[in-house]
C-alpha cells in the first residue's frame, strides 16, 4: 500500500486524571475509521480492564525483553517499574489497514511520536482546569491509592510545562465542550 493510503496518527497526551481516557473513548465512538493503539504496560490490571483491549499487560522482565528486541517505537518508565510502550507492530498493522491510529500516551511519549511522524500526526494536549481539580478527579476515579495519586500530581506539574509543544491544547473543564473541541480538531485534521 502506498504511503498516501496509510492512516494518520492522533495523539492524546495529558497529566494523569486530566480526562484523556474519557475523551479518547468518546472520539472512538463518535468517528469511523479510527483504531486505538493498545500499548504494552507492566503495571497491574485495574478492575474493569481487559488484556489486549486496554493494554497488553506483562511483567517488567517481559517488557525489558521487548525493549531489547527493538519492538517499541517509544517507551517510558512512566512511574517506577511501570513501563509503558507503543509497539511498532500495533501501529503498522492499523496504518496498513487504512485506519487512523489513536494514542493515549504520556506527555514525553506523545512528543516522541509527533517527532517521528511529523505532519502525519496531530498531537493534542488535554489540560486540566487546575492541579486541584486534577487531584479531585483522581480521588473520585478511585483507581489509585493516596501515594499513587501524590506521585501522579507531582509528575503533572512538570508535564503541564510541555503543553506549548503540542499542536493543540484542549482545556477539559466542561466535558461536553471538551468533547466538541476534540471532535472538531480531529475532523479538521483528517480532512486536511
Which residue ranges make up the site for ligand ADP (CB under 6 A)?
A: 14, 16-22, 137, 140-141, 172, 175, 178
Nearer to ligand 5GP, 4 or 154 (CB): 154
Residue closer to ligand ADP, measured from CB, 8 or 20 = 20
Whose CA is closest to 99, among 1, 26, 180? Answer: 1
Residues in contact with ligand 5GP by the rule CB under 6 A:
16, 39, 43, 74, 76, 78, 84-86, 104-106, 109
Q: In this complex, which beta carbon is closest to ligand ADP, that of residue 71 or of residue 144?
A: 144
**165: partner contacted, choices ligand 5GP, ligand ADP, none (Cβ within 5-8 A by kind):** none
DSSP 163: G
Question: Which residue is it, cell 468517528?
Answer: 31
C-alpha cell at 111: 512528543
Kindly state the helix (H) or strand (E) to which residue 146 belongs, with its residue range: helix 146-160
Q: Which is nearer to ligand 5GP, 39 or 189 (CB)?
A: 39
Question: CA 66, 84, 33: angle at the middle one, nearest 5?
Answer: 95
**Smallest distance from the beta carbon of 192 to ligand 5GP, in angstroms?**
25
**CA dihedral in degrees (96, 5, 100, 183; nearest 10)?**
-170
- The cell for 44 is 497491574
Distance CA 124, CA 178 (A): 12
Least CB distance to ligand 5GP at residue 191 (A): 26
Return the one option of ligand ADP, ligand 5GP, none that residue 17 interacts with (CB less than 5 to 8 A, by type): ligand ADP
Amino acid at each position: 500500500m502506498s504511503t498516501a493510503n496509510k492512516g494518520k496518527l492522533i495523539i492524546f497526551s495529558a497529566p494523569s486524571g486530566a480526562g484523556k481516557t474519557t475523551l479518547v473513548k468518546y472520539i472512538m465512538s463518535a468517528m469511523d475509521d479510527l483504531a486505538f493503539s493498545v500499548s504494552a504496560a507492566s503495571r497491574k490490571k485495574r478492575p474493569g480492564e481487559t488484556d489486549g483491549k486496554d493494554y497488553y499487560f506483562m511483567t517488567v522482565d517481559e517488557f525489558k525483553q521487548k525493549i531489547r528486541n527493538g519492538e517499541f517505537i517509544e517507551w517510558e518508565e512512566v512511574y517506577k517499574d511501570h513501563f509503558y510502550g507503543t509497539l511498532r507492530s500495533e501501529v503498522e498493522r492499523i496504518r496498513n489497514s487504512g485506519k487512523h491510529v489513536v494514542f493515549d500516551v504520556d506527555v514525553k511519549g506523545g512528543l516522541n511520536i509527533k517527532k517521528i511522524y511529523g505532519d502525519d500526526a496531530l498531537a493534542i494536549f488535554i489540560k486540566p482546569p487546575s492541579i486541584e481539580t486534577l487531584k479531585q478527579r483522581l480521588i473520585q476515579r478511585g483507581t489509585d491509592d493516596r501515594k499513587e495519586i501524590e506521585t501522579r500530581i507531582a509528575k503533572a506539574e512538570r508535564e503541564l510545562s510541555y503543553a506549548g509543544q503540542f499542536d493543540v491544547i484542549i482545556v477539559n473543564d466542561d466535558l461536553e465542550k471538551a468533547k466538541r473541541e476534540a471532535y472538531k480538531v480531529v475532523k479538521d485534521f483528517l480532512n486536511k
